[in-house]
Amino acid sequence: MLDIQLFRHNIEETAALLLKKGYQLDIDKFNQIEQTRKSLQNEQQALQASRNKLSKEVGDLKRNKQDANSHLEELNIISENLKNVTDQFNSIYEEQKQLLSEMPNIASKDVPNGKDEHDNIEVKKHGEINPLNKESLDHVKIGESLGLYLSEEATKIAQSRFIVLKDKLARIHRGLAQMMLDIHVNEHGYTEYYVPQLVNLKAMYGTGQLPKFSDDQFILNDDNLALIPTAEVPLTNLVSDKILKADELPLKMVSHSACFRREAGSYGRDTRGMIRQHQFDKVEMVQIVDPLNGLDALNEMVSHAENILKALDLPYRVVELCTGDLGFSAFKTYDLEVWLPSQKTYREISSCSLCTDFQARRIKARYKNKAGDTNLVYTLNGSGVAVGRAMIALLENHYDGKHIHIPSALRPYVGGKDVI
């Protein structure tokens, strides 16, 4: 959630920044709500002062055994008026809060302007595009040819956009997640967490999935719970309502979990295979940092995701997202895109975002600096990386027509084999 002071002190500039993220702020409506809120607050404070003054006078009269009836009648009238004004104030305050909750984070001023993914800026490339898969078979054909990719069975027991992996392919999938966790913990300094994959709606609100993206979530309304779209949700909310000490920062957390998304806005895109499913696995990195270290932490997180792709010998590129492609909570984002021979293009496998204090304000996550001042923390999140897409890229880049060639970093997790 954005700081209300941005609107009170410079609403025109804030509206312009929001427009770059695709949000059209109704300035007149916002100003009207703010003026009403301020007027009711002033009236509320005046009535509270009158009530306190009159209550003191009633107390003095009673102590002196004097008649206080007229004062009591006036006090009742003021108390009733105060209740009515307080109800109105609470109502307008909630309306303003609801409006703020629907607004995205603003983008960093150095983020490139653009409408969609086509306007993203390539930052770097790594690795040669020279796959063993000379026929550019896609992961579905490779998996089915090995008898290890069971899409029909998955549809039978669930529906489309689910998958069953068998035997060695299931082991590769499991091994990828374990390898990623070990690298992040042992080499990058993260602490591993096992987290709930069902969270309450307050947690979903805290990281920005609600109320804006309710249609894309699997929500169990009877239980006030939702399946997580990413482990970012439970990890980030671990610091909700906390005041951390300066020497506790940065907090670096990592978790492997299943993730669940309706993909309500995909309209048939990537329906073949594992590119875009309702259930998928991801290793997620989250950092909680001092605001002064936000950009450095973002660059560090990108390098951590890169190290996973380097360990898997996968060609990839890094792109900076333009304003029109930035996520709801993101201030600045870099995507890692891995090369897929079957599509002859790069596809996203990791997204690393700096969210500034946008999520921290929603979850009330703060820290006390060395001077003793309490401020909001900055939050960051990044895929480290998507397990299913890593397996897709591994199959498509390292399959020679008969065998899947296993990169050395992954071999300990698949029985030490160099080919499968």
pLDDT in tens, the chain (420 residues): 999 999 999 999 999 999 999 999 999 999 999 999 999 999 999 999 999 999 999 899 988 888 888 888 999 999 999 999 999 999 999 999 999 999 999 999 999 999 999 999 999 999 999 878 888 999 999 999 999 999 999 999 999 999 999 999 999 999 999 999 999 999 999 999 999 999 999 999 999 999 989 999 999 999 999 999 999 999 999 999 999 999 999 999 999 999 999 986 555 567 788 999 999 999 999 999 999 999 999 999 999 999 999 999 999 999 999 999 999 999 999 999 999 999 999 999 999 999 999 999 999 999 999 889 999 999 999 999 999 999 999 999 999 999 999 999 999 999 999 999
* Phi, psi (rounded to 5 degrees) for 321: -75, 140
CATH of domain 117-413: 3.30.930.10
Spatial CA neighbour of 184 closest among 252, 243, 273, 270: 252
* Phi, psi (rounded to 5 degrees) for 62: -70, -35
Cα pseudo-dihedral 267, 268, 274, 278, rounded to 10: 50
Helix, strand or coil, per DSSP, at residue 123: strand
CB 378 within 8 A of CB 363: no
Q: Against a cut of 0.85, is the pTM above it?
A: yes
Which pLDDT belongs to residue 269? 62
Which pLDDT belongs to residue 69? 87
Q: Which long-range contacts (CB under 8 A, 24 or more apart) does 225-229 make?
A: 225/198, 225/199, 225/200, 225/201, 226/198, 226/199, 226/200, 226/201, 227/197, 227/198, 227/260, 228/195, 228/196, 228/197, 228/198, 228/199, 228/257, 228/259, 228/260, 229/259, 229/260, 229/261
Q: What is the pLDDT of residues 48-72, one digit of tens each?
A: 999 999 999 989 998 888 888 888 8
Which pLDDT belongs to residue 370? 86
Q: b/e map of 391-412 (b: 16 or more CB within 10 Å)?
A: bbbbbbbbbeeeebebbebbee
All residues at 6 or more sequence positions from 49 whose CB lies less than 8 Å from its CB, including other chains: none
Which pLDDT belongs to residue 285? 98
Q: What is the pLDDT of residues 209-260, one digit of tens each?
A: 999 899 999 999 999 999 999 999 999 999 999 999 999 999 999 999 999 9
Q: Widest CA span of the chain, in angstroms?
A: 102
Q: Where are the domains of the chain?
A: 26-101, 117-413
Which pLDDT belongs to residue 264? 64
Spatial CA neighbour of 347 closest among 120, 96, 49, 92: 120
